[in-house]
Structures are given as structure tokens and as C-alpha cells.
Amino acid sequence: MMTARARVCLVAVCCVLWTVSATAEETGPEAQLSMASGPAPLPGCEYRPVDLATHGGRPFRDAPAFTSTDGMLDVDLDVHYAVHVIAGCEVRHRSYNGALVGPTLRVRPGDRIRLRLRNLLPPNPDRPSSDHNVPHDFNTTNLHTHGLHVSPSGKSDNVLLKIEPGEAFEYDIRVPEDHPPGTFWYHAHVHGSTAIQLSSGMAGALIVEGGLDSVPEIARAAEKIFLFQHLSYDDQGQIEDFDELFAPGSWDRLKRHPTINGQIAPVIRMRPGEVQRWRFIHGGIRESLLIRLKGHVLNEIAVDGLALGRISRWQQPIELQPGYRSDVLVKASALPPGRTRQEFLLVDAESAPDISLLAILEKETVLARVVIEGPPVDGPLPDATALARFLPHKPIADAALTGRQKVTFSVFPAAEGGGGFLFTVDGRPFSHNHVRRLKLGGVEEWTLRTALTSLAPNHPFHIHVNPFQHTRIGPDGQPETVWRDTVLVRKGKPLTVRTRYVRYTGRFVLHCHMLDHEDQGMMELVEIVP
């Protein structure tokens, strides 16, 4: 019989694609907590493709927003169970303030975020293992501001904090005066419970205003925030059993649909010629997204919250891996002669195995419908020269380098007789006793690899606090330099990135942003020292 450890660890090795379907249709009574392997599926909860005609088609909506005033964002987030009907299934999930997606937080450079996080979840059941790399304590939480350049210590973006059930904590996060404006996000980040909590929907957008917002053509564009999630639940509408949700074959069997702000395939309305600004955030667990609006160009102006200083015009899909962000300007096409209305599909395009996190062919999925109708307008796009002054960081030249780092991700069988698999960084599962120390003021080049012997082929690398310079292939097929905080590392295709360690000392982490990998040990402590 397979051990619990073996079942848990097989997640990334044998499982296949999951697409999750969710929409907050209406609230219903709580379903009885039970294991998926026991009773028959509840109505609407069995594993089947979602009928978009029935469960999609509602008007697109942004999440509720909290905006700073007089340099302060004062906000409460309560973590508790909620029940929503998702594609016909009553799902009992952990939530921020009872919603399927957390509220949007809007601040400006120099602001202070005072956030009271109250953990109203029930006590954790008994921990199944003394190994902290076995997922556990699913009702213990904290909060991470993904992509923000803020302190990792104390009451700030400290992912080493644990807020137990029944406890509350007041975060005090100070955004630097020179922080780049852009699209960021926040989510739960306790080692051992991250994947379960994000598959419940515990994530939200975090917008730092300014910068590109002042460009007249962008300022006039209607803004929409797309928080893509993969809400995972078993056929009893529960998000409790890591083995059941992340076990071999579950990803294929789930057949859940990606959501946008908790909605399934919403409808976006535009006028002919109108320009809108869409902020894409991949807040999911492990599925690759290749975002394409059929019949249109996606004019990318920022990556991972950081301005490009130009427009990258994507006729092909924009790649979003877990943790990625992309800001795009969309100009609605003119209506053909004699037409008063036209529809286009926003899709997750078919992705090749070398892009897929699971190295399989992922078929096209409809994410939203765009309806173009009404009187035409002439919405101009900004000139690229108007964007050049918003580059967030100076490029790092060879002469500036003071050192080098190497990171290798790998999944491999545990020692003979131990059972299961090890999820590692540089051959080590996560340990509080192993720390990568970096010097404040250092400028380093990192080589990122997935081991050729790894049983899992692709991993999104993410590091906290300081972004890095990366060279990617742009839409014209030529290399272009971007700044980001997450990047996909494919087996046999090592990457080099460059970064500076500025302003902050303290401990934080680097990890794979396939969050079930992180929970099983693919994470490392990092410390910046004076």
C-alpha cells in the first residue's frame, strides 16, 4: 500500500493537467465535510467539463477595492470558511472576507499598509507527520505581498510568521517612496498550507498607482483587473485533502475551469475602437496560461508589475505562469460593414509540452467573451517614446557584477526504503537550518536550472524582495530585456538573471511557484546581511 508520504510526494511526478471551474453564483448552506473517496459526489460536484452556457456569461466584474487615503491603507482581512455555488457545486472554502477572491488593495509609493489579518478558521487537526515538508496545518496562515520591494522582516512581508487559528496579526508594510508603480498581488504563504489555501481562493490584487497611469492614453483607458485562479475542490465540494486534490490523475479528472475574479467565462463589453487597460495576474497553483484575444493584438506595457518602457505587440499568446503578471492595452476592432455587434473569445490557447508545467499538450480553454457594440470611438494607443521614461531599473552591465549564484530545482525518488519523492533546491528539501546568505549592495548573476534528472520538467522560479533582470524572446522573435520576479525554468534550458540586493536586510525565501512543490520542500531560505 502506498504511504501517505508517497501519495503526497507523487503530485508533480505523475499528475496531469487540471483546469478549474469556478464562479460565485450564490451562497448556499455549508456542505458536510467528507472525503471524496467516500460518499457519492454531491449534485454538481462530480468531475465533468463545465457547461459555459449555463455557468458563464455574467458581466465581468472587478473585485471590491480598498484605496489608501492620506498615505495610509487601513484594511481588515478575515480568514474564514465560506460556501459558494461554483458551477453547480456548493464549495466550502477558506476565504478572505467570505469571497472567492480577495479585495483589491490600491496604494501609492510612500504609503503605509496597516492590515489586520484575523484567522477565524477552526483549529488544525492533528499533524500527520513530523516532516515539515509534508503538507500540513491547512488552517494556519499569513500573508505575502508578491513582487513588492518591501522589508521581509518584523511586521512587514514576513513569510516566516504563522498566524494560528483564533489569532490575529497587524501587518505594517511601508512602501518606499521610489517604489515602481505597477501590478502586484498578495496571497497566503505558510509553508505546508500554501497550495491548499490558494486553491481556496486566498489571493487578491495589489496595485501601486502612478507611473504609467499618468500617460494620457493610458489614463483615459478603462481598467480591468483579471485575477486568474484555479479553485480546486473534490466531488464533495471540499478543499481539505491534499492527497485527493493533488494526487496522480486528479488534475485530469478535476476538469475545473479557470476563473477570473471568481467568475467563469464572464462577458467584457467594449465599443468599437475603444482602448482598455487589462491587468493580468496568474494567481493559480500550477496550470500554464497562454492568453490570447482572438482577432486582436495584446499591447503589453508591463511585466510582473514593472514597466517595459515600450510596447510589446503580441499577436501570439502572452505566457502566464503561476505568479506572472502582464499589463496590456487592448484596442477593440471596428465593426464590419452592416454589423452592430461582434464577439471575440479571450482564451487560454493550446500550449505545447515544453511550455506546460506538466510537459503535456494543454488544449484551448475559453476564459471570457468580449462583446464589441455601440457607437465607435477613436481610442489612441500611446507612442512608445512616451513610455520610455518609466523604466523602473537601470540595466546591469557585466562590469557591475560582484558575484554569482546557482539554483537547481529537482524532483527525485527518496532514499531506498523511504518511499515517496523529494522536492529540492540544489538537492536539499527545505530546511530552516540551511540559509543562502547574500551581501547587501551586491550585484549578482544567477544561473537557474531544472536538473536533467528531475522527474518534473518545468518550475517557475520566484524570489522575494528584489526583482531581477531577464532576457526573453519578444513578440518580434528578438531578445528583449525585462524586469520580473518570477520566471519559468525548463529542463535542459538554463536561464541567467541579474539582480541587486538593495535597501533591505533580513530573511525571506526563493521557491518554485508551483505551490504544491513549495509545500513539499522546493524552497530555500535566503538572508541578506549588511
* Amino acid code (one letter) for 240: E
Cell numbers linked to 140: 494556519
CATH architecture of structural domain 4-44+54-210+237-245: Sandwich (2.60)
Q: Quick check: helix, strand or coil at residue 288?
A: coil
Question: Residue 14, exposed/middle/buried by CB under 10 A (0-12, 13-18, 19+)?
Answer: middle
Instruction: Kindly report the length of the chain.
Output: 530
**Ramachandran class of 98: left when φ > 0, alpha when ψ lies in -120 to 50, beta otherwise:** left
pTM (predicted TM-score): 0.92
**Where in the chain are the domains?**
4-44+54-210+237-245
Quick check: 396 and 500 in contact, CB under 8 A?
yes
Q: Return the number of other C-beta atoms located less than 10 Å from residue 438's C-beta.
A: 18
Three-class secondary structure assignment of 287-300:
CCEEEEECCCCEEE
**Ramachandran class of 70: left when φ > 0, alpha when ψ lies in -120 to 50, beta otherwise:** left
In order of 93, 186, 204, 260, the CA distances from 83 in angstroms are 6, 22, 18, 18
Given this model, what pLDDT does residue 19 score? 30
* Residues forming beta bridges with residue 446, ordered by sequence position: 405, 497
Question: Residue 131, exposed/middle/buried by CB under 10 A (0-12, 13-18, 19+)?
Answer: middle
**Of residues 96, 51, 505, 465, the one with CA closest to residue 255:** 51
Place of cell 515539515: 132
DSSP string, 434-498: -EEEEETT-EEEEEEEE-TT-SS-EEEEEESSS-EEEEEE-TTSSEEEEEESEEEEETTB-EEEE
Phi, psi for 167 (deg, rounded to 5): -100, 160
| Radius of gyration, CA atoms only, the chain | 22
Q: Quick check: helix, strand or coil at residue 424?
A: strand
Cell numbers linked to 278: 487589462
CA distance 500 to 484: 13
Given this model, what pLDDT does residue 6 score? 42
Given this model, what pLDDT does residue 352 score? 82
pLDDT, averaged in runs of 10, over the chain (530 residues): 40 35 35 42 83 94 98 98 94 97 98 98 83 94 98 98 98 98 98 96 98 97 97 92 78 77 97 98 92 98 97 96 98 96 97 77 92 97 93 96 98 76 96 97 98 93 98 96 97 97 98 96 98
CA distance 412 to 407: 16
Counting Cα atoms < 13 Å in the Cβ hemisphere of 73 gives 28
Cell numbers linked to 348: 487560454
CA distance 298 to 330: 6
Given this model, what pLDDT does residue 15 score? 39
Cell numbers linked to 84: 459558494
Q: Return the number of other C-beta atoms located less than 10 Å from residue 7's C-beta.
A: 18
Given this model, what pLDDT does residue 11 score? 41
CA distance 211 to 391: 9
CA distance 54 to 417: 50
Cell numbers linked to 335: 465593426
**Of residues 127, 131, 161, the one with CA closest to residue 144:** 161
